[in-house]
Amino acid sequence: MNFNITARDSASKARAGVLTTDHGTIQTPIFMPVGTAGSVKAVHIREIKEDVKAQIILGNTYHLYLRPGLDILKKAGGLHKFNGWNRPILTDSGGYQVYSLAGSRKIKEEGVVFQSHIDGSRHHFTPEGVMDIERAIGADIMMAFDECTPYPCEYQYAKKSMEMTHRWLQRCVDRVNTTDPLYGYQQSLFPIVQGSVYKDLRKISAETIASHGCDGNAIGGLSVGEPAEMMYEMTELVCGILPDDKPRYLMGVGTPANILEGIALGIDMFDCVMPTRNGRNGMLFTKNGIINIKNEKWNDNFDPIEVNGASFVDREYSKAYLRHLFRAGEILGPMIASQHNLAFYLWLVGEARQQIIDGTFYEWKNRAVKQLMQRL
């Protein structure tokens, strides 16, 4: 894996770069659609490639391990061949499930015992085991196994958790260094900074993570309910410590405004379920602001979903029609909304990239943040 920074913004920490993997290059800053169970929900792979123009998507270790399972994944020749996405894939480690499925797991030093949300069966996730799973999935970027702490989180717990995540990281590194990829292409490990919203912990964590010299570094444990300003503060602090010449990935973020602010702080990679989940629930992100397509006001609005929108669905369908699809419970509604939102998110990071290259990013960002988040 190789990362080249091709342009920097003078008024902020934003940068534009190119990340090279064995499955192709990624123009940063980038947004990565989430494909938890091997599918970006409600959107065909062909649309993800050709219409959304995604460059890398996510998969999830916990979910793919439970279903379809490693045997099928290996027989398929890895996730790329299984789901038809022949470009880079990043897998989350299950660290987020430690947070989101807190009610059905137990954390120990050795690892985490999950009780399957599917059938209740118990499964041990150790740092070593998670690396093996991510090898079997065939991710180009494998996230280290961590604990994503909740918000709020008491200092003592955040500290203990962070220290364990650091120990787990060493075990992940050791495992990756003593095993080989299964499918003949390189797989990179990205470690994850934790430390909740505590500056001293974040500092220690960022230094620890940086010391491993990995191909890229991630910031986790944010966007879990803390105020946005707190998230920006932590991000800024951590970005100042993580190596400048490696890609930085802010996990689970976020709203269009969150992403632009993150880019301004030096983040190169983002992922979030928001465009797909909120899309399935009728929320559309556009250049002019946010639309709840289920609202009565769109009842007889036959204008395109978004004039000059990034996706063909923006021109093909009207707001009134999309509202009708949602009200009628038609599956096409969530499909159109998901595709629109993803195309918008990819347009957003692409535009940010161009503004960085043009040297106009900072001013553009400040204007865009206000416009993008207003309710229409």
User: Tokens standing for 6?
Assistant: 């091709």
The contact mask relative to RNA for 95-134 (x = CB under 7 A, - = no) is xxx-xxx-xx------------x-----------------
The span of 75-83, 169-177, 180-188, 222-230 binding RNA (CB under 7 A) equals 222-230
Specify whether the CB–CB gap between 373 and 290 falls below 8 A.
yes
Which residue do the tokens 């090279």 mark? 20
Residues 139-158 interacting with RNA (rule: CB under 7 A): 143, 146, 148
Question: Could you tell me the smallest distance in angstroms from the CB atom of residue 218 to RNA?
Answer: 7
Among 7, 113, 241, 273, contact with RNA (rule: CB under 7 A):
273
92 an active-site residue?
A: yes
63-72 burial: b if 16+ Cβ within 10 Å, else e: bbbbebeeee
The span of 69-77, 177-185, 223-231, 309-317 binding RNA (CB under 7 A) equals 223-231
Q: Assess 220 for contact with RNA (CB under 7 A).
A: yes
Nearest to 140 by CA among 237, 252, 44, 23: 23
Specify whether the CB–CB gap between 68 and 193 falls below 8 A.
no
Among 92, 134, 140, 306, contact with RNA (rule: CB under 7 A):
92
Alpha-carbon span 191 to 244, nearest angstrom:
15
Q: Assess 255 for contact with RNA (CB under 7 A).
A: yes
Contacts of 128 (CB under 8 A, 6+ apart): 171, 172, 174, 175
Residues 283-342 interacting with RNA (rule: CB under 7 A): 283, 292, 294-297, 299, 327, 329, 331, 334
Map residue 248 onto helix, strand or coil.
strand
By CB under 7 A, the count of residues binding RNA is 58
**Which residue, 36 or 83, has its beta carbon nearer to RNA?**
36
Specify whether the CB–CB gap between 172 and 190 falls below 8 A.
no
Is the bond into 68 cis (omega within 30 degrees of 0)?
yes
User: Tokens standing for 69?
Assistant: 């399972």
314 an active-site residue?
A: no
The span of 48-56, 58-66, 74-82, 308-316 binding RNA (CB under 7 A) equals 58-66
Specify whether the CB–CB gap between 158 and 198 falls below 8 A.
yes
> Which residues contribute to the site for RNA (CB under 7 A)?
34, 36, 40-42, 58, 60, 63, 92-93, 95-97, 99-101, 103-104, 117, 143, 146, 148, 192, 218, 220-221, 223-225, 228, 251-255, 258, 271-274, 276-278, 280-283, 292, 294-297, 299, 327, 329, 331, 334, 375
Which residues are known catalytic residues? 92, 271
